[in-house]
């Protein structure tokens, strides 16, 4: 039996996939995105540690917490698992979604795809991805930056395997929503947005594209955790820049 390490639960999420969602935020993430609004989910749980303020739940226990709200989800809602990086807990997530699908629940993962690989040396990991995706209806994904060097500076990781993750999801016809965080001076340059759009145009599984304006609402969390917030002087994008990004990324062309 695999335990899931859960940071928090949200009963009535309205921006994490279609309809009303029960949102699970799993603990642990290898990325350090400069604009992350959940830094409290970065730290990984230590084996055997149960007094760390994190919920350690079986898939059955977590589903029991979620299914109480099923009547509120309607025909479009369901469960979304976010983080942190949920794919760092693939065994648990697969077990959880398998149980959810048995109850007729729509399943969605909000992921960066940071640990995706189909290299021969990681065949076991790739097999886990395949098992998880078989019980996943939708993925929320984002191209944090199309340029590999800027992506590494922005997140601490290269984006080559993440781009391959997008291509694999397209190959297996797995529906995705793409969400682009628009950060002034970093991810709002027209030339990069155009490259991102051109990449999106190569995919046939995109059901929706959203532009998410950067905001500094998480500054208090960083202060409380004693983590330096690199973007504390960055302002939110203007309405004109948001509209420009939506136009370039052709968000109006996609409907669910």
Residue with tokens 């529906």: 175
The number of residues in the chain equals 256
Q: What is the pLDDT of residues 181-226, one digit of tens each?
A: 999 999 999 999 999 999 999 999 999 999 999 998 899 999 999 9
> Average pLDDT for residues 169-192, to the nearest whole number?
97
Q: Which structural domain, as residue segments, surrounds residue 34?
A: 3-253
User: What pLDDT score was predicted for residue 255?
Assistant: 63
Q: Give the burial class of 144: count Cβ atoms within 10 A of its Cβ; 0-12 exposed, 13-18 middle, 19 or more buried.
A: buried
Number of domains in the chain: 1
User: What pLDDT score was predicted for residue 150?
Assistant: 95
DSSP secondary structure string, 147-159? SHHHHHHHHSS-S
- 176 is written with which tokens? 């995705």
Q: What is the mean pLDDT of the chain?
A: 94
User: What pLDDT score was predicted for residue 47?
Assistant: 73
- Per the CB < 8 A criterion, the answer to whether 4 and 59 are in contact is yes
User: What pLDDT score was predicted for residue 56?
Assistant: 94
- Per the CB < 8 A criterion, the answer to whether 96 and 137 are in contact is no
Report d(CA 203, CA 226) in Å as an integer: 40
Report d(CA 247, CA 91) in Å as an integer: 39
Sign of CA dihedral 118, 130, 37, 187: positive
Does position 249 have pLDDT exceeding 60, yes or no?
A: yes
CATH code for position 12: 3.20.20.70
Higher pLDDT, 135 or 143: 135
Query: Longest C-alpha distance within the chain, in Å?
Result: 51
User: What pLDDT score was predicted for residue 24?
Assistant: 98
pTM for the full model? 0.94
Q: What is the pLDDT of residues 30-49, one digit of tens each?
A: 999 999 999 999 999 877 77
């Amino acid at each position: 039996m695999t335990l899931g390490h859960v940071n928090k639960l949200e009963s009535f999420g309205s921006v994490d996939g279609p309809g009303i969602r029960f949102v699970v935020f799993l603990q642990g993430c290898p990325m350090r995105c400069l604009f992350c609004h959940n830094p409290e989910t970065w730290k990984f749980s230590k084996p055997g540690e149960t007094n760390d303020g994190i919920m350690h739940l079986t898939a059955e226990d977590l589903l029991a917490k979620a299914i109480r709200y099923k009547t509120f989800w309607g025909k479009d809602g369901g469960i979304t698992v976010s983080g942190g990086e949920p794919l760092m807990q693939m065994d648990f997530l697969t077990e959880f979604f398998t149980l959810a699908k048995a109850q007729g629940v729509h399943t969605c993962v909000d992921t960066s795809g940071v640990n995706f690989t189909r290299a021969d040396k990681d065949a076991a990991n790739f097999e886990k991805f395949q098992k998880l995706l078989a019980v996943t209806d939708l993925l929320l994904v984002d191209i944090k930056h199309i340029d590999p060097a800027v992506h590494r500076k922005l997140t601490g990781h290269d984006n080559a395997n993440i781009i391959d993750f997008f291509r694999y999801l397209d190959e297996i016809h797995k529906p995705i929503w793409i969400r682009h965080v628009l950060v002034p001076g970093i991810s709002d340059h027209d030339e990069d947005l155009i490259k991102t759009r051109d990449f999106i145009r190569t995919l046939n599984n995109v059901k929706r594209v959203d532009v998410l304006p950067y905001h500094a609402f998480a500054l208090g969390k960083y202060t409380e955790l004693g983590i330096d917030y690199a973007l504390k002087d960055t302002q939110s994008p203007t309405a004109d820049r948001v509209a420009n990004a939506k136009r370039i990324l052709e968000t109006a062309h996609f409907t669910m």
